[in-house]
Each structure stands twice: as structure tokens, then as C-alpha cells.
């Protein structure tokens, strides 16, 4: 079960107990998804992942960052990554969204054989609204995003003023204060159209 959220909503035991006007009261939440690939055609993999995010009617991709070629972190003896960030309006709860992202990774051939190892596609929930969740399977905000230039640079492109709910700082300030020096090289400009597929 997911950890408690700071903005935890009251859960009703049965939808049958809801008043008619509140049955369809579920609303879209804005989530930020980190996307990376360092196997195969990395840019094609990322575009396919963005299409997959929007293929479910419960998701509406909103904005895509430019793509960046990035130096591997953690396990450095592997090919460089291509990374980006997508903002996504979703009707899925955090756990449901995680399950959906894992299923997309699996369909795209991701194998989890080695920690921080090469991957066809990597999809991470960076933020889910302003919620804070801590669970064995899911931590939101992503627990290491403030240490990773390859996440913060594209995240700044889509949401520079987004405030980290734990650190209380906007993304642009977190990036400006970051000591990590891994290389992050712009590949292409952002493509808003890629987020409306």
C-alpha cells in the first residue's frame, strides 16, 4: 500500500455511497515523468514512450522538454543516455501510474538485470502534484532528482518555477545550487506536438 500523502484525500469505502454529483469527481493531476534511454535508437525509444504515455485515455501529455545526451551516472562504463522530461495530466493515482509506467517499460523491452545498467527505456515519476509519498515501491518526489543534472536540466525546461515540496525550492534554484558536474548536452529543441499524440 502506498504511503500517506501530505494532501491525502478522504477515501470512501464504496463508490455506491457517493452522491450522484460526486461519482465522476476524479480530476486530473499534473505529474512529471523523467524519460531516458541508452540502448538502440535512443531518440526513437523516447518518442515511442511519449506516445505510449498518451495512448491511455486517462493520460494527457502536456509538455515535452528538449532532449539531451547525458553522461551516465552511477555505472559509468556504458553508453551515454538520451534524457528528457514530460509533464502529464493523469487520472491515475500514483501507484496506478507507476504500474502503467512499468508496463510501458516492459512492452518496450526493458530488462532489470543490473542496477543503473543499460536500458531501452526508463520512466520515473519525478513529481505527482505536490504530494509527498514514501513507500517501499514508490517515493515521490523522486528521492534523487535533486542530485541529477540529467533530470534537473530538462525539468527546468518544462517547469522552472515548480517548487520541490520537501526542499521548498524551485527546480531552477536546485539546479543552480547543484555541485554534480556530469555532462548534459542539448540534442534538439522541445517538441510540443510530440506531447499531443
Which residues carry out catalysis?
A: 110, 119, 122, 124
Q: Please return the burial class of 83, using the count of CB atoms within 10 Å of its CB with bins 0-12, 13-18 and 19+.
A: buried
* Interacting residues of 136 by C-beta distance below 8 A, sequence separation 6+: none
- Grid cell in block for residue 186: 542539448
Residue 104's SS3 state is helix
Buried b (16+ CB within 10 A) or exposed e, 131-147: bbbeeeebebbbeebbe
* Interacting residues of 61 by C-beta distance below 8 A, sequence separation 6+: 50, 53, 54, 86, 87, 88, 89, 194, 195, 196, 197
Contact call for residues 91 and 25 (beta carbons, < 8 A): no
How far apart CA 106 and CA 184 sit, in angstroms, is 27
Amino acid at each position: 500500500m502506498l504511503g500517506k500523502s501530505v494532501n491525502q484525500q478522504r477515501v470512501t469505502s464504496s463508490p455506491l455511497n457517493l452522491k450522484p454529483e460526486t461519482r465522476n469527481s476524479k480530476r486530473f493531476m499534473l505529474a512529471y515523468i523523467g524519460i531516458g534511454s541508452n540502448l538502440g535508437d535512443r531518440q526513437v525509444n523516447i518518442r515511442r514512450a511519449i506516445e505510449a504515455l498518451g495512448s491511455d485515455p486517462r493520460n494527457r501529455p502536456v509538455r515535452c522538454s528538449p532532449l539531451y545526451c547525458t553522461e551516465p551516472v552511477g555505472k559509468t562504463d556504458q553508453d551515454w543516455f538520451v534524457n528528457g522530461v514530460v509533464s502529464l495530466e493523469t487520472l491515475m493515482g500514483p501507484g496506478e501510474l507507476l504500474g502503467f509506467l512499468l508496463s510501458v517499460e516492459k512492452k518496450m523491452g526493458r530488462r532489470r538485470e543490473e542496477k543503473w545498467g543499460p536500458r531501452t527505456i526508463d520512466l520515473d515519476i519525478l513529481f505527482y502534484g505536490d504530494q509527498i509519498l514514501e513507500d517501499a515501491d514508490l517515493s515521490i518526489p523522486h528521492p534523487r532528482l535533486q542530485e541529477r543534472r540529467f533530470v534537473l536540466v530538462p525539468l527546468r525546461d518544462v517547469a522552472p518555477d515548480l517548487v520541490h515540496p520537501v526542499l521548498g525550492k524551485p527546480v531552477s534554484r536546485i539546479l543552480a545550487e547543484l555541485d554534480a558536474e556530469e555532462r548534459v548536452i542539448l540534442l534538439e529543441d522541445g517538441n510540443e506536438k510530440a506531447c499531443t499524440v
